[in-house]
Amino acid sequence: MRDTGMGAGLGGESLLFLTDEQLRQGIEAMFFAYRGFTADPDRILTDMEYGRAHHRAVHFINRAPGTTVNNLLNILGVTKQSLNRVLRTLIADGLVESRVGHSDKRERHLYLTDAGRALEQQLSDAQRARMRTAFREAGPDAVGGFRRVLEAMMDPEMRRAYARLKENGT
């Protein structure tokens, strides 16, 4: 762990800091913030035939074009049957394209079509706008802390998936 990196002088203070009340406030902050986080895309999606699951699929396909169903499954943390229902409608509506794997024909590689990219853009614009406002309001210093705490809150497996996507984007 990185506890030692905090310096000995902070030991007492950090213990004092983590009162039950502070932790409870952190929990509630996560709850309320996540609501805000999903509110804008949700509004857009309900007008269409889609839900939050479609948003997630579109987001990560855009993020890692050519990804396989199995890979997407691990990232999203749902069963393949659940994902498949979503993918089926997205493919039927011409937002996602599924190409049979070249080397392994069992695999399907997923890509956004132009229409899919347009939807992703619309959804992500709304979500990024809120994130941008929040980052600006909280100040540059806060953003690092925000990201560090969130990363530490992830399950190790998800943490690795997150890191892989970060590299992807660079």
Partner DNA sequence: CAGCTTACGTCAGTGTTGTTGACATTCCAA
Partner DNA sequence: TTGGAATGTCAACAACACTGACGTAAGCTG
In a 3-state reduction of DSSP, which class is residue 18?
coil
Query: How far is residue 124's CA from residue 166's CA, in Å, rounded to a whole number?
Result: 17
Count interface residues toward a second copy (CB under 8 A). 70
Binders of DNA in range 45-64 (CB under 7 A):
49-54
Binders of a second copy in range 110-169 (CB under 8 A):
124, 127-128, 130-155, 158-159, 161-162, 165-166, 169
| Amino acid of residue 93 | D
Q: What is the dihedral angle through the alpha carbons of 132, 160, 84, 106, rounded to the nearest 10 degrees?
A: 140
H or E element: which one contains 72? helix 69-76
Query: How far is residue 2's CA from residue 151's CA, in Å, rounded to a whole number?
Result: 13
- Show Cβ contacts of residue 142 under 8 Å, excluding neighbours closer than 6 positions: 135
Write the binding mask 85 to 104 for DNA: x where contact by CB under 7 A, - elsewhere: xxxx---------x--x-xx
Residue range at the interface with a second copy (CB under 8 A); choices 8-16, 66-74, 86-94, 110-118: 8-16
Residues making contact with DNA (CB under 7 A): 49-54, 68-70, 73, 77-88, 98, 101, 103-108
Residues making contact with a second copy (CB under 8 A): 1-3, 5-6, 10, 13-14, 17-18, 20-37, 39, 56, 59, 63, 77, 124, 127-128, 130-155, 158-159, 161-162, 165-166, 169-170
